[in-house]
A = this chain, B = another copy of it.
Amino acid sequence: MTTLLFHSDLDDFTTWKEAIERTAPSITVRSTQDAGALEAVTAALVWAPPPGLLRRFPNLKVVINLGAGADSLLRDPTIPPSLPIVRLTDRALIDTVADYVLLYALALHRRQPELAAAQRAQQWTFLPPTPTAMTRIGVMGLGAIGGETARRLAAQGFKVMGWARRPREMTGVECFHGLAPPDLFLTQSDILVNLLPATAQTENLIDSPLLGRLKPGAALINVGRGSAIVEADLLAALDMGHLRHAVLDVFRTEPLPDSHAFWTHPRITLTPHNAGLCHPELSAGFVADVIARSLGGEALPSCVDRIAGY
């Protein structure tokens, strides 16, 4: 028997507990509020736990991050660098994020923000629809989620470019690589999609110089992390009209503070970090396998690279 600690403010404890215990009867899943004997906990399945929470469990052998971006764990100084962190990126997470980007890419392509403004002004303003092939989308980050997102956008007829640090090849997606997004990638993007993890390299990546290299009237979708955006620079680009619209799911501080300028900006559509979510039924087997490997001293899949920072 082994005990798995579960902590998430967004995911349902009971559903996860039932799915994992059904899949692996030797695992007992307990919540932070009812953790039982701290020594019995050998694994943790968590999303954004309070800093310091995990140090309470002296026999913790592995932490599984309930999502793709493990930056909240990496920011917690009480988690030793030797403790393996495994990222959970299941089919439901990939698909729900790809759905989100497809939804807002189509909305921006079809000028839904302008159409909504016309409705509010009670004005019948015919905007002719254009083929998706007229819109070029640049996807930053081509991991499991970014790759599937780029493929799905291309399947809808959009022109799709992708940028990643390492070279990639994808059918129907023009791939760029390198340490910084190349000029050809930025200057051709009608819609820029950020799917990068929060690292030292991506911190403040989307600033005035980068935004200035986008086409006038380009749009932005951020489903990576809030730390990628210099907020004052984004607001300036929107206010001067260089950027047509921004769709934001992630923010430097979440929940977004009450007084934040993003809430009421007419060129910002914001959602409460709900682009993607893992699914208990799809992930229970993976979680059980990670725990078994950890207890057996075997190599772990999808481990966070502490040097790369994701």
Contacts and interface: CB of A to CB of B under 8 A. Distances in A.
Interface of A: 10, 92, 95-96, 99-100, 102-103, 106-107, 109-110, 112, 115-116, 118-119, 122, 124-132, 155-157, 254-256, 258, 263-264, 269-277, 279
B106 A274 contact: no
A45 to B, nearest CB: 17
B95 A132 contact: yes
9 contacts: A10-B126, A96-B130, A103-B107, A115-B271, A116-B269, A119-B263, A124-B272, A128-B277, A155-B155
B274 A127 contact: yes
A52 to B, nearest CB: 24
B269 A129 contact: no
A114 to B, nearest CB: 10
A279 B129 CA distance: 10
A155 B151 CA distance: 13
Complex copy number for this chain: 2
A103 B106 contact: yes
Contacts of A263: 119, 122
A258 B112 CA distance: 20
Contacts of A122: 258, 263-264
A254 B255 CA distance: 42
Q: Interface of chain A, helix or strand or loop or mixed?
A: loop
A100 B110 contact: yes
B95 A106 contact: no
A246 to B, nearest CB: 13
Contacts of A100: 110, 129
Nearest to A11: B128
Contacts of A115: 271-272, 274
A95 B255 contact: no
Nearest to A10: B126
Q: Give the interface centre of A100, A102, A156 by most chain B CB atoms within 10 Å.
A: A156
Given A95-B157, A132-B95, A273 B103 contact: no
Given A96-B129, A107-B107, A129-B276, A124 B255 contact: yes
Closest 5 CB pairs of A and B: A124-B255, A103-B106, A96-B129, A122-B263, A124-B272
Contact of A103 (B112, B118, B256, B258): B112
A126 B264 contact: no
Contacts of A271: 115, 119
Nearest to A121: B263
